Amino acid sequence: MAYADVNGVKLYYEVHGEGYPVILIGGLGSQAQSWATQVPVYSKHFKVVVFDNRGSGLSDKPGPGYTTADMADDTAGLMDALGIERAHVVGKSMGGMIGQWLAIRHPHKVSRLVMGCSSASRDEVGNVILDMGREIASKVGMKAVWTMALYLGYTRGYIEKNISTLKATMAAIPESPDTLRGYIGQSRAVETHDTTELLSGINAPTLVMLGETDLTTSPKKTRELASSIKGALLKTFPGVGHGFWRERQGEVDELVLEFLGSESV
């Protein structure tokens, strides 16, 4: 297991493949494992770095009070620790928020930026969902939170087809004070995220993707994110929501790899 000490926290990370670096940044509560289906595909073309954000997985879990901008600084620090000067950055949901801040605060580190099911700020409905998640996590437990996220994020057909695997995944979710503290800390960071007035300063070529039936992140907010970044490309996936990256994996991964290309820019 590999760790890096960054900004006062210890981050767990993995490196796969060779070539130009690609940093994959996960969403709220997720771990490096959330990219398990992408790593074998992307690492055929790139050096892929996956890691646990502060607050999740094997990384340190400080209490609430940090922001998505702080987590972007963590990512920049991890890049420095690995000797990576510049990379393509790919983030989903909260990972896209972190990617925004990375491109704003550390523009020299971002070659191309890809964001899925993300936004520049939260709307009222989105924050109600975050608040409900924190309450469920505190009163029932993390397995209940992820069950809620499953039914909010995926189509019934996908859940029915993969129910055995999903049940096994849910059973493996840890229940501990550390896990709860980390989830709440990340959730608060997402709730307060706002780059609305700063997006015009992003110069990296950008691809933004969304599922048209997303209940967790408003598709309207994702479209606003794309329209606020000069030259950003927008791709929509009909009939799927927040979990479009998994439900349409082949199509999405092909699009991302085509956008990233094989060389730096």
Query: What is the pLDDT, as a whole number, of residue 171?
Result: 86
- Could you tell me the two tokens for 74? 């963590």
Spatial separation of the C-alpha atoms in residues 116 and 96, rounded to whole Å: 6
Q: Which residues contact 4 (CB under 8 A, 6 or more apart)?
A: 10, 11, 13, 77, 78, 81, 82
Spatial separation of the C-alpha atoms in residues 57 and 79, rounded to whole Å: 19
Question: Which residue range is the domain that position 53 belongs to?
Answer: 2-260
pLDDT in tens, 141-178: 999 999 999 999 999 999 999 999 998 888 888 899 99
Per-residue pLDDT averaged across 128-153, rounded? Answer: 95
Q: Is residue 143 part of a domain?
A: yes
pLDDT at 263 over 90: no
Q: Is residue 265 part of a domain?
A: no
Query: What is the pLDDT, as a whole number, of residue 169?
Result: 86
Strand order across the beta sheet in which 87-92 lies = 2-6, 9-16, 47-51, 21-25, 87-92, 110-116, 206-211, 233-237
Spatial separation of the C-alpha atoms in residues 183 and 130, rounded to whole Å: 10
pLDDT in tens, 35-44: 999 999 999 9
Q: Which residues contact 129 (CB under 8 A, 6 or more apart)?
A: 152, 215, 216
pLDDT at 264 over 60: no
- Mean pLDDT of all residues in the chain? 96
Query: What is the pLDDT, as a whole number, of residue 194?
Result: 98
Q: Give how many domains the chain has, as a whole number.
A: 1
pLDDT at 265 over 60: no
CATH of the domain at 75: 3.40.50.1820
Q: Is residue 42 part of a domain?
A: yes
pTM given for the model: 0.96
Q: Is residue 39 part of a domain?
A: yes
Q: Which residues contact 60 (CB under 8 A, 6 or more apart)?
A: 9, 10, 11, 54
* Amino acid of residue 107: P
**Conformation bin of residue 141: beta by default, left when phi > 0, alpha when psi is -120 to 50:** left
Q: Is residue 254 part of a domain?
A: yes
* Amino acid of residue 57: G
